[in-house]
Structure 1
Amino acid sequence: MSGRRKWQVLFGIPAILLLFVFLVMPLAGMVEMSFRTSGTGAPYGDDFTTAHYSRVIGDAFYMSTLLRSLVTAVIVTLLCLIVSYPLAWHLSRAKGGKALFLYACIASPLMTGVLVRNFGWMIVTAIDGPLNTLLIALGIISRPLRLLFTQGLVVMALVHVFIPFMVLPINNALRNINPALSEASLSLGAGRASTFFRIILPLSFPGIQPGVILVFVLSVAAYVTPALLGGQMVNLMPTLIIRELTGTFAWPFGSTLAIVMSMSTLSVVICFSLLTAKLMERVRA
């Protein structure tokens, strides 16, 4: 082994150890816990069983909750993409102080604590909150709307916080597109819309794909926002998992719910990656 190769291996060992300790071991422990029997007077028993998986798969309540979580994540991802692409477009063309200002505005949701941010949403959307007061004053509505503890508010709040995770990779991809390609397309008679859909949009897909995957995964696993803004009226998988793990201390069943949610999320990500693999190959070529 050459000296350079040896140094590469040595520098890679800490990363491998971190992944093993903080990813592989907890995941393996969660899988092992999901096969444990329920305990009497303890969080889990000593034997192993597959009954928890049969219970989750055979119960319409858990399957519908899983489906609702996935659909909610898809909606959040699509809305983030729709809102983020124009922002990333302007950000990729900004320079100097304007670029710094836009970066600060886009990253601002991440600069506020999750509890503070969600309590802010609760205040704004309360029955007697500023939003309802403004809508009534403008004559748009005649009586206050019940916005808190609804699916729509959960989606809106998740879009608000996850936009930076979509904007930044798309911005990076747009900055890497050679401006000469657009100029050549326009000079050859193509319109701006045709240039965008046939050149800019496909070439920006290396930023769209990771942004979509990241926002989707984060949306499926989000807990604090659905718990605070959805309450008991919006049941999603993370809230059920935490309820089982910390509320009833049913660790085996809570672990089973977590594994089922993780495998479902991973399946959607793999399907999306396979469906977009050809487009990624064309762009890279």
Structure 2
Amino acid sequence: MIRSKKLTWALALPALALIFVFMILPITNMVEMSFRTPGSSEPFGEDYTWMHYTRILGDGYYWGVLRRSLYTAGIVTLLCLVVSYPIAWHLSRAKGFKAVFLYACIASPLMTGVLVRNFGWMIVAALNGPLNESLIALGIIERPLRLLFTQSLVILALVHVFVPFMVLPINNALRNIPQSLTEASASMGASRYQVFRDIILPLSFPGIQPGVILVYVLAVAAYVTPALLGGQMVSYMPTLIIGELTGTFQWPFGSALAIVLSFSTVLVVVLFTRLTWKLNERARA
């Protein structure tokens, strides 16, 4: 028994070391940095202060940017769920070459570099780009729409890249639903809608919940896509944080912004987990 415990700890030590070095230590340093005073000739001073949090919480501009970041992440997550569920359903029923083809299509956004993907969106959404030209040719609009540097384009681009992170966990949950349950319900006179509402949807929630959390966290922390497609017209917390850290070299204030964003994200995730806990437990029962 003692030898088994020692072996378990020996195998766990590398993982614990990685967690400490790349997660706990950076977060601890960031929290400590957020209380530092601004430096005159250096990015931070020697003393400690609450002034950065007071500035953030007392300024309506930062509250607005935080709300926009959380709201945009929520919209992206909801759209990803709506788009991903039918895809995951078809993927869970696919076999052979069809399944491989669908997996390749779903993973295709992740196979393209983030800069290449976003520059592609910039070309598509330009005033004289293919999207505006197609809408004009179809008679839907009379003159080009300004799509670039808007919140709508940022949301569309984030949905494009985050759909795979929603599809895969839902697909795994759907594959674990015994087909005998749906067949038995249908044989007892249940309609397709009733089968979906009472059996498939509740039993797929163990895949929906982690997919929603993963996409939401990724959308809140996204930087490159909002920076390129939102530009200076639409501000998000990650762009403000990077601007403070690398633009003005205000490391303490940038760290405080990061802590506020992280705390708000964790609060939303915890609230969502608590609200959906009973649904998850019902599906696992």
The TM-score with structure 2 as length reference comes to 0.99
Match of 1:252 in 2: 252
- How many angstroms apart in 1 are the aligned matches of 2:23 and 2:97? 40
Report the Cα distance in structure 1 between the residues aligned to 2:135 and 2:270, rounded to whole angstroms.
Answer: 43
Q: Structure 1, residues 248-283: CA drift from partner, whole Å, max 9, x if none?
A: 000000000000000000000001111111111111
What pairs up with 1:92-107 in 2 under 5 angstroms? 92-107=92-107
Q: How far apart are the structure 1 equivalents of 2:136 and 2:272?
A: 43
Counterpart CA distance in 1 for 2:2 and 2:96 is 45
Q: Give 1:1-285 correspondences, 5 Å limit.
A: 1-285=1-285
- Write the letter of the residue equivalent to 2:48: F
Counterpart of 1:246, as a letter, is T
Over residues 9-55 of structure 1, what are the superposed CA-to-partner deviations in whole Å (9 max), with x where a residue is unaligned?
11111000000000000000000000000111210100000110011
- Consecutive unaligned residues of structure 1, counting only runs of 5 or more, are none
Q: How far is the alpha carbon of 1:236 from its aligned partner?
A: 0.5
- Structural RMSD (CA): 0.7
Q: Distance in 1 between matches of 2:2 and 2:87?
A: 47
Q: Structure 1 CA distance, aligned partners of 2:243 and 2:99?
A: 43
TM-score (norm 1): 0.99
> Which 4+ runs in 1 deviate beyond 3 A?
none
Give the Cα separation in 2 of the matches to 1:195 and 1:283. Answer: 14
Instruction: Please report how far the alpha carbon of residue 81 of structure 1 lies from its aligned counterpart in structure 2 after TM superposition.
Output: 0.1
Displacement of 1:6 after TM fit?
A: 2.1
Q: Hey, what's the Cα distance between the residues in 2 that align with 1:280 and 1:142? A: 49
**Shift in Å, 1:5:** 2.6
Which residue identity does 2:66 align to in structure 1? L
Percent of aligned pairs sharing the same letter: 71
| DSSP 3-state at the match of 1:42 | coil
Q: Whole-Å Cα distance in 1 between the matches of residues 217 and 78 of structure 2?
A: 13
2:62 is aligned with what amino acid?
Y
In the alignment, the residues of structure 2 paired with residue 4 and residue 158 of structure 1 have an alpha-carbon distance, to the nearest angstrom, of 46
Cα distance in 1 between the residues matched to 2:268 and 2:139? 43
